[in-house]
Amino acid sequence: MEKVLAHSLFSDFDISLFVSGKHFRLYEKFGAHLISVDGLTGTYFSVWAPNAQAVHLIADFNDWNKVSHPLNRRLDSSGIWEGFIPGVGKGEVYKFLIKGFGGEELEKGDPYAKRWEHPPKTASIVWDNDFKWKDKTWMNKRAKLNALNKPMSVYEVHLGSWQRDPTEPDRVLTYIEIANSLVPYVLDMGFTHVEFMPVMEYPYFPSWGYQITGYFAASSRHGTPQELMYLINELHKNNIAVIMDWVPSHFPGDAHGLYHFDGTHLYEHSDMRKGFHPDWKSYIFNYDRNEVRSFLISNAIYWLDKFHIDGLRVDAVASMLYFDFSRQPGEAATNEYGGSENLGATQFLKELNVAVYRDFEGVHTIAEESSTYPGVTRPVHNGGLGFGMKWMMGWMNDTLKYFKNDPINRRYHHYQLTFSITYAFSENFMLPFSHDEVVHGKSSMIYKMPGDEWQKFANLRVLYAYMFTQPGTKLLFMGNEFAQTHEWDFKNSLDWHLLEHAPHRGMQKTVRAINKLYTSEPALYEHSFSPEGFEWINADDARHSIYIYIRKGKKAKDTLIVILNLTPVYRENYRVGLPFKAKWKEIFNTDAKEFFGSGKHNKQALLPEKEACHNRDYSIVLNVPPLAATILKQEK
């Protein structure tokens, strides 16, 4: 095998874009690339290490010799080391040996590697992105189906614990095995999207994927990058969109990762008030550095480009926006104007969203953002951060607080459920019941509910109906759809055996029916982010803990009336004011016996009467089932 030959994939224009923070396809240049040079096949390697004294390639092919294959430093000021090695092919295991700024030897994985060894091994692997995609039909219609005025019901999945092989419970399933069971399940349940918790390579399984070392590599725990592509391809063939959790907020301090990469604080901020996260004991990217912004935005673009991802849920945005996030007074840095806002991070997020929405039709970025930062989903050209959606954390917290109350006391907390409408249209909100709500002693969703077994399940059914009939898109964590009883345990499969029991089957049927209702009734999604799609009929019946509201689509005939009874008391002959004179019929009821309810229905058409109610000229009288949601629609 020949030694390292001088070769470069970088043009002067590439370098100019990179050092100015404007190169968003760095994965085409950095890392390991299988190419031919002057008739010789091999691999081109490149890495950014501006403060290194030397960089050598150590690998299986050279028996991890520390001196035999030195990379060449570019003569410009880019800090890039590179070279072409003939004969090195796909599957070669390698690292960069970096002689750092202070002379220390650092063995680092490739930040741009397309594949890594299975943890606890930590080396990179020469690989490619070759895959024969068969999702052209989906990609051609994605912009229409994934639009903001279409239904978005997201099933959040942790690939390592959704299911396990019952004969080998300690083994996580492969991407292929997951595809074979997850795709038909999501299709049957009626979810429109899946969201994968991070699938980039990460060393520590209990981090759930949120401590990433291989930003450009699919986790080897489940197979090859091509097998992840197969999973995504199968979802797309069934018109199911794929959202991926993405973590540009922090990274771990593992010796083979990004931390102290060339003997200096290269990717992280050197000021640990800005560069270290006290909660997660991890390191925060230096968003002020042009090359770091290029790295991160290139990574986002990579997953959209090479893996056909339809959306990125951006983790921990609030921690990026503020220097004082989770820090005690006096412990936080400030910006150049003395404020707590991380101006580099806000600029990075704006550039990210501009690039994503410019280059990829029909995709979305979604901010997991818990602060009151204004304009998160406002376009950048209008002064916002440019996200497509934002998790509605305030709604989630208020809703769960309310539902934990014994129904006899809910009258005293009535406005916890009405308050969110006062700000529901200030952003494009997604309503989440995510993995974060069923771990760390918070209990499972079913055990947040008060009462006996029947009441717990009735409460959860009406909670989901309330969620899906409120403005905004929806996200439900795996297991919530059948009332998983244990808190989520990343080490084990969901408790699928619970579906042997009627209450859990009823819950699963409820969610399946709610998804069908949500995706088939335009009033529930056409105005998800606009006040014209929502109107209260009665928000003030605290005495009975009853809420009545209208959901409206573009056409009057699609109008729905939603009635929530959040006590276990059956209300007969309850009068409801009408949005307009018409006959109404019950189209959905969470108290149905097939859902494990008591079967209190309004079977007959509900005729309008010329009797004023709720400040409306016409009204109907109906029976309101206990701890249930009743949904009415105009009868044709």
Q: Three-state secondary structure along 40-62?
A: EEEEEEEEECCCCCEEEEEEHHH
318 in Cβ contact with 326 (< 8 Å): no
How far apart CA 247 and CA 225 sit, in angstroms, is 19
How many CB atoms are located within 10 Å of the residue 1 CB?
A: 11
CATH fold for the domain made of 531-634: Immunoglobulin-like (2.60.40)
463 in Cβ contact with 451 (< 8 Å): no
- Among residues 436, 530, 525, the alpha carbon closest in space to that of 192 is found at 525
Q: Three-state secondary structure along 452-489?
A: CHHHHHHHHHHHHHHHHHCCCEEEEECCHHHCCCCCCC
What pLDDT is attached to residue 558? 97
How far apart CA 573 and CA 584 sit, in angstroms, is 15
Which residues sit opposite 98 in a β-bridge? 55, 106
Could you tell me what percent of the chain has a pLDDT over 70? 100
Q: Do the domains spanning 201-227+247-389 and 531-634 agree at the CATH topology level? A: no
Residues 387/391/393/398 CA torsion (nearest 10 deg): 130
- What amino acid occupies position 321? L
Name, in order, each residue with C-beta under 8 angstroms of 409's C-beta and a sequence gap of 6 or more. Answer: none
How far apart CA 265 and CA 258 sit, in angstroms, is 9
- Which residue's structure tokens are 């800005």? 274
What pLDDT is attached to residue 169? 85
What pLDDT is attached to residue 1? 59
Q: What does CATH list as the number for 201-227+247-389?
A: 3.20.20.80
Q: What confidence tier does 47 reach under pLDDT thresholds 50, 70, 90?
A: very high
- Among residues 569, 530, 526, 524, the alpha carbon closest in space to that of 546 is found at 569
How many CB atoms are located within 10 Å of the residue 131 CB?
A: 18
210 in Cβ contact with 172 (< 8 Å): no
Name which residue leads in pLDDT, 167 or 435.
435
193 in Cβ contact with 242 (< 8 Å): yes
CATH fold for the domain made of 12-125: Immunoglobulin-like (2.60.40)
Judged against a pLDDT cut of 70, whether residue 65 lies above it is answered with: yes
What pLDDT is attached to residue 166? 86
Q: What confidence tier does 26 reach under pLDDT thresholds 50, 70, 90?
A: very high
Could you tell me what percent of the chain has a pLDDT over 90? 96
Q: Give 580-616 as a DSSP string.
A: SS--EEEEEETT-GGGTS------S-B--BS--BTTB
Q: Share the mean pLDDT of the chain.
A: 96
pLDDT digit string (tens) for 87-140?
A: 999 999 999 999 999 999 999 999 999 999 999 999 999 999 999 999 999 999
What pLDDT is attached to residue 331? 87
Which residues sit opposite 548 in a β-bridge? 538, 563
- Count of alpha carbons within 13 angstroms of residue 72, beta-carbon side: 13
What pLDDT is attached to residue 329? 83
pLDDT digit string (tens) for 293-328?
A: 999 999 999 999 999 999 999 999 999 999 999 898
How far apart CA 44 and CA 110 sit, in angstroms, is 13
Phi and psi at residue 46, to the nearest 5°: -150, 150
Q: Which residues are marked as active site?
A: 315, 368
Residues in the chain: 636
pLDDT digit string (tens) for 416-447?
A: 999 999 999 999 999 999 999 999 999 999 99
What pLDDT is attached to residue 572? 96
Which residues sit opposite 115 in a β-bridge? 125
Q: Give 123-172 as a DSSP string.
A: -EE----------HHHHHHHHHHTSTTS--EEEEE-TTTS-EETTEEEEE
How far apart CA 72 and CA 6 sit, in angstroms, is 7
Judged against a pLDDT cut of 90, whether residue 636 lies above it is answered with: no
510 in Cβ contact with 518 (< 8 Å): no
Tell which phi-psi region holds residue 204, choosing left (phi > 0), alpha (psi between -120 and 50) or beta. Answer: beta
First to last CA, the chain: 78
What counts of helices (H) and strands (E) characterise the chain?
A: 13, 30
- Would you state the structure tokens that stand for residue 374, as one six-digit string? 């204004």
Mean pLDDT calculated for residue range 549-563: 97
Mean pLDDT calculated for residue range 192-207: 96
- Which residue's structure tokens are 């004011």? 577
Q: What confidence tier does 330 reach under pLDDT thresholds 50, 70, 90?
A: confident
DSSP element (H, E) containing 358: helix 343-359
How many CB atoms are located within 10 Å of the residue 27 CB?
A: 21
pLDDT digit string (tens) for 570-595?
A: 999 999 999 999 999 999 999 999 99
- Among residues 162, 50, 41, the alpha carbon closest in space to that of 98 is found at 50
What pLDDT is attached to residue 328? 86
Cα angle 355, 359, 360; round to 5: 115
pLDDT digit string (tens) for 358-417?
A: 999 999 999 999 999 999 999 999 999 999 999 999 999 999 999 999 999 999 999 999
| Domain assignments of the chain as residue spans, ordered by start | 12-125, 201-227+247-389, 531-634
Residues 588/589/590/596 CA torsion (nearest 10 deg): -110
